Amino acid sequence: MRGSKLRAAGVKGIGAYLPERILTNADLEKLVETSDQWILERTGIRERRIASKDETAATLGTRAAIEAIKDAGINPTDVQCIITATITPDYFFPATACLIQDAIGATGAAAFDLLVGCTGFVYGLVIASQMVSYGAFDNVLVIGADVLSKFINWRDRHTCVLFGDGAGAAVISQIDDDYGLLGFDIGSDGSLSKLLRIEAGGSHRPASLMTVLEEAHSLTMNGSEVFKFAVRAMSDSTRRALQACGLDVEHVSLFVPHQANMRIVRAAAERLQIPIERIFTNVEKYGNTSAASIPIALAEADKLGRIKRGDIVVCTSFGGGLSWASCVLRW
């Protein structure tokens, strides 16, 4: 630590990138036995973006990172550390963050990945803020990038209608005192890990002809159990994060939840007694983009003027692990 006083750390720049190809609910009706009405009623999703053959977590993450760096008004060489939250990395190793480091020209920056499902971006934001607060780095780039379309079983209607691809990024830097990250709450419950996972390909069950034939490399999920967990985790975690900085739900200007499913968002908001006007959602257009969902939503809310300087913004998420994470920011 450089001085005795911790530095205020927060979002200095934000950006997002979505692949061009749109897959609508009507398109999905041709792939599996489903309907626009079912998907819309159960999830609130109308369409999602799908990466091209050449697009990966690293290429999407790079596009979002460039936007965030531009927005922050810094140069790529000013970035000293890159954290990429992804469960769909380009390779098992090297880290996707290293590929992005090279692609954006962040010479010599530290780079590593976080594997915490949809909660990864908020975990990354919390870690990056601590690094900046303690003076370890001046600018940390946090990226959420996922291409779940490449890990979905496109014959499984329970999962294939839910997800989309995308990336979002934020530059975390020192900012004015009393702004930035005010409080957070992160945690996990590994006893629920089986509810949401990709079964094969790791050391537990290495890839083989059998695992490919059994389609064990695609995401599986117990939807109704994950749903119940999500509502509880997001609302309880939001309360703990607000408590950590002495604030209450009524102080929140904008609530930016993980964009998994409109019904989950509504149920969590009800438990927290947050009016729907104070909640930002775009799940209708992009589906669940996993670790990218919160930074994409933040970037869009910022662009649309939904967040003003001084606003209290709460981001909350749940995901694989199972895990949860919430953060309170003064914008």
Interface residue list for ligand ACO (CB under 6 A):
34, 38-39, 42-43, 117-118, 157-158, 161, 196, 221, 223-224, 226-227, 230, 260-261, 264, 288, 290, 319-320
- Taking the complex as a whole, the smallest distance from the CB of residue 304 to ligand ACO amounts, in Å, to 24
Length of the chain: 331
Using the minimum distance from each CB to ligand ACO, give the nearer residue, 197 or 278: 197
Catalytic residue among 258, 261, 315, 327: 258
Q: Report the alpha-carbon distance of residue 128 to residue 118 in Å, rounded.
A: 17
Q: Report the alpha-carbon distance of residue 309 to residue 312 in Å, rounded.
A: 9
Q: Is 158 a catalytic residue?
A: no
Using the minimum distance from each CB to ligand ACO, give the nearer residue, 8 or 196: 196
Catalytic residue among 118, 160, 315, 327: 118
Give SS3 for 323.
strand
- Taking the complex as a whole, the smallest distance from the CB of residue 40 to ligand ACO amounts, in Å, to 11
Instruction: Give how far Cα 146 sits from Cα of 59, 156, 178, 286, 329, Å.
Output: 10, 19, 32, 12, 24
Catalytic residue among 25, 139, 261, 288: 288
Residue (of 16, 201, 180) closest to 115 by Cα position = 201
Radius of gyration of the chain (CA): 19
Using the minimum distance from each CB to ligand ACO, give the nearer residue, 38 or 112: 38
CA angle, corner 305, sides to 287 and 288, nearest 5? Answer: 10
Q: Which residue is nearest to ligand ACO (CB)?
A: 223
Q: Is 217 a catalytic residue?
A: no
- Taking the complex as a whole, the smallest distance from the CB of residue 290 to ligand ACO amounts, in Å, to 5
Residue (of 166, 170, 152) closest to 60 by Cα position = 166
Q: Is 258 a catalytic residue?
A: yes
- Taking the complex as a whole, the smallest distance from the CB of residue 138 to ligand ACO amounts, in Å, to 31
| Mode of pairing for the β-strands spanning 312-319 and 254-257 | parallel
CA angle, corner 170, sides to 178 and 190, nearest 5? Answer: 95
Token digits for 12? 């200095």
Using the minimum distance from each CB to ligand ACO, give the nearer residue, 56 or 139: 56
Q: Are 292 and 144 in contact (CB under 8 A)?
A: yes
Using the minimum distance from each CB to ligand ACO, give the nearer residue, 132 or 196: 196
Q: In the beta sheet, which residues pair with residue 326?
A: 185, 316
Q: Are 171 and 141 in contact (CB under 8 A)?
A: yes
- Taking the complex as a whole, the smallest distance from the CB of residue 148 to ligand ACO amounts, in Å, to 7
The upper half-sphere exposure of residue 38, i.e. CA atoms within 13 Å in the direction of its Cβ, equals 11
- Taking the complex as a whole, the smallest distance from the CB of residue 180 to ligand ACO amounts, in Å, to 26
Using the minimum distance from each CB to ligand ACO, give the nearer residue, 4 or 37: 37
List the catalytic residues.
118, 258, 288
